[in-house]
A = this chain, B = another copy of it.
Amino acid sequence: MTERTAIEDLETPVLVVDLDAVGRNIAAMQGYCDEHGFAFRPHIKTHKIPAIAHLQLSAGAVGVTCQKLGEAEVMAAAGVRDILVTFPLVGRAKAERLAALSRTVRISVAADSPRVARDLSDVLSRDGLSVGFLVDCDTALGRTGVQSPKQAADLAVLVDSLPGLRFAGLMTYPTEPESGPWLGAAREMIEALGLQVGRVSGGGTPTAFRTHEIGEVTEIRAGTYVYGDVNCIDDRTVSPEDCAIGIRSMVVSRPTRDRAILDAGSKALSSDPPAYGRDGYGLITKYPDAKIYALDEEHGYVEIRAGLEGLEVGEVVTIIPNHACTAVNMHDETVAHRRGEIVAVWPVAARGKIK
Protein backbone atom coordinates (compact mmCIF):
# COMPACT_ATOMS: atom_id res chain seq x y z
CA MET A 1 0.00 0.00 0.00
CA THR A 2 1.32 3.41 -0.91
CA GLU A 3 0.92 6.34 1.45
CA ARG A 4 -2.25 8.35 0.99
CA THR A 5 -1.28 11.65 -0.58
CA ALA A 6 -4.08 12.79 -2.88
CA ILE A 7 -7.39 14.36 -1.84
CA GLU A 8 -9.08 12.05 -4.37
CA ASP A 9 -8.41 9.16 -2.01
CA LEU A 10 -10.08 10.72 1.02
CA GLU A 11 -13.33 9.38 2.42
CA THR A 12 -16.21 11.80 2.05
CA PRO A 13 -17.54 14.18 3.16
CA VAL A 14 -14.33 16.01 3.94
CA LEU A 15 -13.23 19.63 4.15
CA VAL A 16 -10.25 20.47 1.95
CA VAL A 17 -8.37 23.75 1.58
CA ASP A 18 -6.10 24.76 -1.27
CA LEU A 19 -3.02 26.31 0.35
CA ASP A 20 -1.92 27.98 -2.88
CA ALA A 21 -5.19 29.90 -2.97
CA VAL A 22 -4.90 30.65 0.75
CA GLY A 23 -1.48 32.14 0.06
CA ARG A 24 -2.82 34.31 -2.75
CA ASN A 25 -5.68 35.57 -0.58
CA ILE A 26 -3.39 36.39 2.33
CA ALA A 27 -1.03 38.25 0.01
CA ALA A 28 -3.85 40.23 -1.59
CA MET A 29 -5.37 41.45 1.70
CA GLN A 30 -2.04 42.15 3.40
CA GLY A 31 -0.87 43.93 0.27
CA TYR A 32 -3.93 46.16 0.30
CA CYS A 33 -3.43 46.99 3.98
CA ASP A 34 0.27 47.70 3.49
CA GLU A 35 -0.42 49.91 0.49
CA HIS A 36 -2.89 52.05 2.46
CA GLY A 37 -1.18 51.92 5.83
CA PHE A 38 -3.84 49.91 7.64
CA ALA A 39 -2.99 47.52 10.42
CA PHE A 40 -4.44 44.11 9.55
CA ARG A 41 -5.87 41.83 12.23
CA PRO A 42 -7.42 38.74 10.56
CA HIS A 43 -10.42 37.09 12.16
CA ILE A 44 -9.63 33.44 12.88
CA LYS A 45 -13.31 32.43 12.94
CA THR A 46 -13.11 31.42 9.28
CA HIS A 47 -10.29 28.86 9.51
CA LYS A 48 -10.06 28.24 13.30
CA ILE A 49 -6.57 26.79 12.78
CA PRO A 50 -3.38 28.11 14.44
CA ALA A 51 -1.18 27.14 11.48
CA ILE A 52 -3.16 29.43 9.19
CA ALA A 53 -3.13 32.23 11.75
CA HIS A 54 0.65 31.99 11.73
CA LEU A 55 0.69 32.26 7.92
CA GLN A 56 -1.33 35.47 8.28
CA LEU A 57 0.99 36.82 10.97
CA SER A 58 4.10 35.95 8.97
CA ALA A 59 2.68 37.95 6.07
CA GLY A 60 2.42 41.05 8.25
CA ALA A 61 -0.74 40.89 10.36
CA VAL A 62 -0.40 42.76 13.69
CA GLY A 63 -2.34 40.10 15.60
CA VAL A 64 -5.59 38.19 15.27
CA THR A 65 -9.24 38.73 16.06
CA CYS A 66 -11.32 36.16 17.94
CA GLN A 67 -15.03 36.24 18.62
CA LYS A 68 -15.09 34.06 21.72
CA LEU A 69 -12.60 33.72 24.56
CA GLY A 70 -12.34 29.99 23.90
CA GLU A 71 -10.96 30.75 20.45
CA ALA A 72 -8.47 33.19 21.97
CA GLU A 73 -7.32 30.53 24.42
CA VAL A 74 -6.61 28.14 21.54
CA MET A 75 -4.68 30.78 19.60
CA ALA A 76 -2.70 31.90 22.66
CA ALA A 77 -1.74 28.30 23.43
CA ALA A 78 -0.49 28.02 19.84
CA GLY A 79 1.84 30.99 20.15
CA VAL A 80 -0.24 33.89 18.86
CA ARG A 81 0.88 36.93 20.90
CA ASP A 82 -1.67 39.68 20.16
CA ILE A 83 -5.41 39.02 20.24
CA LEU A 84 -8.53 41.18 20.07
CA VAL A 85 -11.73 39.60 21.42
CA THR A 86 -14.64 41.44 19.84
CA PHE A 87 -17.48 39.63 21.62
CA PRO A 88 -18.67 41.23 24.91
CA LEU A 89 -17.26 39.33 27.90
CA VAL A 90 -19.98 39.30 30.53
CA GLY A 91 -19.91 37.62 33.92
CA ARG A 92 -17.31 36.62 36.46
CA ALA A 93 -16.17 33.40 34.77
CA LYS A 94 -15.32 35.20 31.54
CA ALA A 95 -13.51 37.98 33.42
CA GLU A 96 -11.37 35.44 35.27
CA ARG A 97 -10.46 33.71 32.01
CA LEU A 98 -9.59 37.07 30.44
CA ALA A 99 -7.37 37.89 33.40
CA ALA A 100 -5.55 34.59 33.04
CA LEU A 101 -5.03 35.14 29.31
CA SER A 102 -3.81 38.69 29.79
CA ARG A 103 -0.87 37.38 31.81
CA THR A 104 0.57 35.59 28.79
CA VAL A 105 -0.53 37.49 25.68
CA ARG A 106 -1.32 41.03 24.64
CA ILE A 107 -5.09 40.98 24.64
CA SER A 108 -7.69 43.64 24.02
CA VAL A 109 -11.47 43.51 24.25
CA ALA A 110 -14.50 45.37 22.94
CA ALA A 111 -17.86 45.97 24.58
CA ASP A 112 -20.68 48.49 24.66
CA SER A 113 -21.87 48.89 28.25
CA PRO A 114 -20.69 50.43 31.52
CA ARG A 115 -21.75 47.25 33.28
CA VAL A 116 -19.31 45.12 31.30
CA ALA A 117 -16.50 47.63 31.66
CA ARG A 118 -16.94 47.82 35.46
CA ASP A 119 -17.11 44.05 35.91
CA LEU A 120 -13.94 43.50 33.88
CA SER A 121 -12.21 46.30 35.74
CA ASP A 122 -13.06 44.72 39.12
CA VAL A 123 -11.36 41.45 38.29
CA LEU A 124 -8.42 42.80 36.30
CA SER A 125 -7.51 45.54 38.78
CA ARG A 126 -7.72 43.10 41.70
CA ASP A 127 -4.79 41.26 40.15
CA GLY A 128 -2.93 44.38 39.02
CA LEU A 129 -3.58 43.56 35.37
CA SER A 130 -4.47 45.90 32.51
CA VAL A 131 -6.27 45.25 29.23
CA GLY A 132 -7.01 47.49 26.26
CA PHE A 133 -10.72 48.23 25.83
CA LEU A 134 -12.29 49.33 22.54
CA VAL A 135 -15.75 50.87 22.56
CA ASP A 136 -18.04 48.78 20.35
CA CYS A 137 -19.92 51.18 18.04
CA ASP A 138 -23.09 50.27 16.15
CA THR A 139 -22.43 52.31 13.02
CA ALA A 140 -24.57 50.32 10.57
CA LEU A 141 -25.66 46.78 11.46
CA GLY A 142 -28.00 47.03 14.43
CA ARG A 143 -26.38 44.30 16.51
CA THR A 144 -24.24 45.20 19.54
CA GLY A 145 -22.60 48.58 20.06
CA VAL A 146 -23.30 51.99 21.50
CA GLN A 147 -25.91 53.88 19.54
CA SER A 148 -24.33 57.31 19.10
CA PRO A 149 -20.96 59.07 19.09
CA LYS A 150 -22.03 60.71 22.37
CA GLN A 151 -22.56 57.30 23.99
CA ALA A 152 -19.18 56.22 22.64
CA ALA A 153 -17.53 59.22 24.25
CA ASP A 154 -19.30 58.60 27.57
CA LEU A 155 -18.14 55.00 27.67
CA ALA A 156 -14.61 56.01 26.65
CA VAL A 157 -14.44 58.40 29.59
CA LEU A 158 -15.70 55.74 31.98
CA VAL A 159 -13.22 53.16 30.68
CA ASP A 160 -10.39 55.65 31.00
CA SER A 161 -11.28 56.11 34.65
CA LEU A 162 -11.43 52.42 35.52
CA PRO A 163 -8.38 50.59 36.90
CA GLY A 164 -7.45 47.48 34.95
CA LEU A 165 -8.69 48.94 31.65
CA ARG A 166 -6.99 51.19 29.11
CA PHE A 167 -9.20 53.02 26.63
CA ALA A 168 -7.72 51.76 23.36
CA GLY A 169 -10.04 53.10 20.70
CA LEU A 170 -13.19 52.27 18.73
CA MET A 171 -14.46 49.08 17.10
CA THR A 172 -17.27 48.54 14.61
CA TYR A 173 -18.68 45.75 12.50
CA PRO A 174 -19.19 45.83 9.62
CA THR A 175 -17.42 48.82 8.10
CA GLU A 176 -19.98 50.49 5.86
CA PRO A 177 -19.85 53.85 4.04
CA GLU A 178 -21.86 55.46 6.87
CA SER A 179 -19.37 54.11 9.44
CA GLY A 180 -16.77 56.73 8.46
CA PRO A 181 -18.70 59.85 9.49
CA TRP A 182 -20.04 58.09 12.61
CA LEU A 183 -16.58 57.06 13.78
CA GLY A 184 -15.15 60.45 12.88
CA ALA A 185 -17.73 62.22 15.05
CA ALA A 186 -17.02 59.86 17.94
CA ARG A 187 -13.27 60.32 17.60
CA GLU A 188 -13.57 64.09 17.61
CA MET A 189 -15.78 64.11 20.70
CA ILE A 190 -13.40 61.80 22.54
CA GLU A 191 -10.32 63.80 21.55
CA ALA A 192 -12.05 67.00 22.63
CA LEU A 193 -12.34 65.41 26.05
CA GLY A 194 -8.58 64.98 26.13
CA LEU A 195 -8.45 61.25 25.42
CA GLN A 196 -6.46 59.60 22.66
CA VAL A 197 -8.20 57.23 20.25
CA GLY A 198 -5.45 54.65 19.83
CA ARG A 199 -7.00 52.71 17.02
CA VAL A 200 -10.22 52.52 15.04
CA SER A 201 -10.94 48.92 14.12
CA GLY A 202 -13.31 48.11 11.27
CA GLY A 203 -14.39 44.70 10.10
CA GLY A 204 -15.81 42.50 7.39
CA THR A 205 -14.53 40.99 4.16
CA PRO A 206 -17.20 42.51 1.85
CA THR A 207 -16.03 46.10 2.33
CA ALA A 208 -12.41 45.48 3.35
CA PHE A 209 -10.91 46.56 0.03
CA ARG A 210 -12.90 49.81 0.12
CA THR A 211 -11.75 50.85 3.60
CA HIS A 212 -9.57 53.65 2.18
CA GLU A 213 -12.68 55.24 0.69
CA ILE A 214 -14.62 55.06 3.95
CA GLY A 215 -12.09 56.81 6.13
CA GLU A 216 -11.38 56.90 9.89
CA VAL A 217 -10.58 53.19 10.17
CA THR A 218 -6.94 52.42 11.06
CA GLU A 219 -7.19 48.64 11.53
CA ILE A 220 -8.99 46.09 9.36
CA ARG A 221 -10.45 42.84 10.63
CA ALA A 222 -11.49 40.28 8.01
CA GLY A 223 -11.89 36.54 8.10
CA THR A 224 -13.66 35.04 5.12
CA TYR A 225 -11.26 36.55 2.57
CA VAL A 226 -8.74 33.80 3.42
CA TYR A 227 -10.88 30.94 2.07
CA GLY A 228 -13.59 32.66 0.03
CA ASP A 229 -17.04 31.11 -0.36
CA VAL A 230 -20.16 31.52 -2.49
CA ASN A 231 -20.97 34.80 -0.76
CA CYS A 232 -17.47 36.13 -1.52
CA ILE A 233 -17.86 35.11 -5.16
CA ASP A 234 -21.20 36.92 -5.31
CA ASP A 235 -19.91 40.13 -3.74
CA ARG A 236 -16.71 39.88 -5.84
CA THR A 237 -14.24 39.93 -2.95
CA VAL A 238 -12.78 36.53 -3.88
CA SER A 239 -12.80 35.12 -7.42
CA PRO A 240 -13.97 31.54 -8.01
CA GLU A 241 -10.36 30.57 -8.84
CA ASP A 242 -9.17 31.92 -5.50
CA CYS A 243 -11.82 30.10 -3.45
CA ALA A 244 -9.62 27.86 -1.32
CA ILE A 245 -12.33 25.90 0.47
CA GLY A 246 -14.17 22.85 -0.76
CA ILE A 247 -16.27 20.11 0.76
CA ARG A 248 -15.67 16.91 -1.15
CA SER A 249 -18.87 14.89 -1.26
CA MET A 250 -20.04 11.67 -2.89
CA VAL A 251 -23.24 10.93 -4.77
CA VAL A 252 -24.83 8.15 -2.69
CA SER A 253 -28.20 7.83 -4.41
CA ARG A 254 -29.65 8.64 -7.79
CA PRO A 255 -33.27 7.70 -7.20
CA THR A 256 -34.57 9.53 -10.27
CA ARG A 257 -33.04 11.04 -13.39
CA ASP A 258 -33.64 14.54 -12.08
CA ARG A 259 -32.41 14.03 -8.50
CA ALA A 260 -29.08 13.04 -6.98
CA ILE A 261 -28.40 12.78 -3.27
CA LEU A 262 -25.01 13.76 -1.84
CA ASP A 263 -23.46 12.66 1.45
CA ALA A 264 -22.96 16.30 2.48
CA GLY A 265 -25.93 17.84 4.28
CA SER A 266 -26.20 20.64 6.81
CA LYS A 267 -23.76 18.80 9.09
CA ALA A 268 -21.07 19.23 6.42
CA LEU A 269 -22.09 22.50 4.73
CA SER A 270 -24.11 24.24 7.49
CA SER A 271 -27.67 25.28 6.70
CA ASP A 272 -26.76 28.92 6.02
CA PRO A 273 -28.56 30.13 2.91
CA PRO A 274 -26.67 32.29 0.41
CA ALA A 275 -26.48 35.98 1.33
CA TYR A 276 -26.98 37.63 -2.04
CA GLY A 277 -30.18 36.37 -3.59
CA ARG A 278 -28.65 33.29 -5.19
CA ASP A 279 -30.51 30.04 -4.70
CA GLY A 280 -29.14 26.79 -3.26
CA TYR A 281 -26.81 25.45 -0.59
CA GLY A 282 -23.39 25.66 -2.16
CA LEU A 283 -21.77 25.55 -5.58
CA ILE A 284 -20.73 22.23 -7.16
CA THR A 285 -17.58 23.28 -8.97
CA LYS A 286 -17.80 20.73 -11.78
CA TYR A 287 -21.56 21.19 -12.29
CA PRO A 288 -22.38 24.82 -11.48
CA ASP A 289 -25.84 24.41 -12.99
CA ALA A 290 -26.78 21.46 -10.76
CA LYS A 291 -28.54 23.16 -7.88
CA ILE A 292 -28.31 21.86 -4.29
CA TYR A 293 -31.94 22.72 -3.63
CA ALA A 294 -32.33 21.35 -0.09
CA LEU A 295 -30.30 19.97 2.79
CA ASP A 296 -31.12 17.55 5.55
CA GLU A 297 -28.53 16.88 8.20
CA GLU A 298 -26.68 14.24 6.18
CA HIS A 299 -28.27 14.61 2.73
CA GLY A 300 -27.76 17.18 0.00
CA TYR A 301 -30.52 17.20 -2.63
CA VAL A 302 -29.32 18.03 -6.15
CA GLU A 303 -31.61 18.97 -9.02
CA ILE A 304 -30.36 17.52 -12.30
CA ARG A 305 -31.57 19.29 -15.38
CA ALA A 306 -32.17 17.44 -18.62
CA GLY A 307 -28.97 17.00 -20.58
CA LEU A 308 -26.60 17.00 -17.63
CA GLU A 309 -24.37 13.93 -17.73
CA GLY A 310 -22.74 12.72 -14.53
CA LEU A 311 -23.56 12.74 -10.84
CA GLU A 312 -24.07 8.98 -10.83
CA VAL A 313 -23.71 6.99 -7.60
CA GLY A 314 -20.09 6.96 -6.49
CA GLU A 315 -18.98 10.21 -8.16
CA VAL A 316 -17.20 12.64 -5.86
CA VAL A 317 -17.68 16.38 -6.35
CA THR A 318 -16.31 19.48 -4.67
CA ILE A 319 -18.76 21.96 -3.17
CA ILE A 320 -17.90 25.57 -2.35
CA PRO A 321 -20.08 26.37 0.67
CA ASN A 322 -22.27 29.45 0.92
CA HIS A 323 -20.56 30.58 4.11
CA ALA A 324 -17.04 29.37 4.88
CA CYS A 325 -17.08 30.11 8.62
CA THR A 326 -20.19 28.11 9.45
CA ALA A 327 -19.15 25.25 7.17
CA VAL A 328 -15.69 25.03 8.76
CA ASN A 329 -17.28 24.87 12.19
CA MET A 330 -18.95 21.58 11.24
CA HIS A 331 -15.63 19.79 10.67
CA ASP A 332 -13.12 18.34 13.11
CA GLU A 333 -10.34 18.35 10.52
CA THR A 334 -9.21 20.41 7.56
CA VAL A 335 -7.13 18.74 4.87
CA ALA A 336 -4.66 21.19 3.36
CA HIS A 337 -3.46 20.49 -0.16
CA ARG A 338 -1.58 21.99 -3.07
CA ARG A 339 -2.89 21.00 -6.50
CA GLY A 340 -4.65 18.06 -4.89
CA GLU A 341 -1.60 16.70 -3.05
CA ILE A 342 -2.17 16.57 0.70
CA VAL A 343 0.36 18.60 2.67
CA ALA A 344 -1.26 18.62 6.14
CA VAL A 345 -4.29 17.41 8.07
CA TRP A 346 -5.06 20.04 10.68
CA PRO A 347 -7.44 19.67 13.60
CA VAL A 348 -9.88 22.59 13.52
CA ALA A 349 -8.58 23.50 16.95
CA ALA A 350 -10.92 26.43 17.64
CA ARG A 351 -14.03 24.67 16.31
CA GLY A 352 -17.06 24.79 18.56
CA LYS A 353 -15.49 27.23 21.04
CA ILE A 354 -18.76 28.98 21.79
CA LYS A 355 -17.83 30.06 25.32
On A, residues with C-beta under 8 Å from B are 11-14, 45, 67-68, 87-88, 90-91, 93-94, 111-113, 115-116, 136, 138, 142-147, 250-256, 259, 261, 263-264, 266-268, 270-272, 296-299, 301, 313-314, 325-326, 329-332, 352, 354-355
Whether B325 lies near A146 (C-beta < 8 A) is no
How close is A257's CB to chain B, nearest CB, in angstroms? 10
Q: Per a CB cutoff under 8 Å, which of B251, B256, B296 touches A147?
A: B256
- One of B116, B268, B298 near A313 (C-beta < 8 A): B116
Residues in B with CB closer than 8 Å to A301 are 143
Q: Is the CB of A329 within 8 A of B297?
A: yes
Ranked nearest first, the 5 interchain pairs of A and B with the lowest CB-CB distance are A144-B253, A88-B252, A11-B93, A90-B252, A67-B298
> Is A331 in contact with B352, judged by CB distance below 8 angstroms?
yes
Which residues on B sit within 8 Å (CB–CB) of A255? 112, 138, 143-147
Which residues of chain B are near A90, meaning CB under 8 Å? 250-252, 263, 313-314
Kindly list chain B residues whose C-beta atoms are within 8 Å of the C-beta of A297: 45, 67, 325-326, 329
**Cβ–Cβ contact A94 & B11, under 8 A:** yes
- Among B45, B112, B271, the residue within 8 A (CB) of A253 is B112
Chain B residues whose CB sits within 8 angstroms of the CB of A261 once the complex forms: 88, 143-144
Provide the residues of chain B in CB contact with A116, threshold 8 Å.
252, 313
Residues from chain B with a CB closer than 8 A to the CB of A67 are: 297-298
What's the Cα separation between A45 and B253 when bound, in Å? Answer: 21
Q: Are A263 and B87 in contact (CB-based, < 8 A)? A: yes
Complex: chain B residue closest to A316, CB-CB: B91
Distance between Cα atoms of A223 and B298 in the complex (Å)? 15
Contact of A252 among B13, B144, B332 (CB under 8 A): B144
A145–B142 CA distance with the chains assembled, in angstroms: 45
Bound form: Cα–Cα A214–B184 in Å: 67
A12: which B residues are within 8 A, CB to CB? 91, 355
CB distance from A19 to the nearest CB of B (A): 23
Tell me whether A272 and B263 are in contact (CB under 8 A): no
Q: How far is the CB of A155 from chain B (nearest CB, A)?
A: 12
State which of B143, B147, B354 has its C-beta within 8 Å of the C-beta of A330: B354
Contact status B352-A68, CB under 8 Å: no
In the complex, the chain B residue whose C-beta lies closest to that of A71 is B298
Q: Which residues of B contact A299 (CB under 8 A)?
A: 143-144
Q: Which residues of B lie under 8 Å from residue A144 when comparing CB positions?
A: 252-253, 255, 261, 299
20 A-B residue pairings within 8 Å (CB atoms): A12-B355, A13-B355, A14-B355, A67-B298, A88-B261, A90-B251, A112-B255, A113-B254, A115-B313, A143-B255, A143-B296, A144-B252, A144-B253, A263-B354, A266-B272, A267-B329, A267-B354, A271-B271, A298-B354, A329-B330
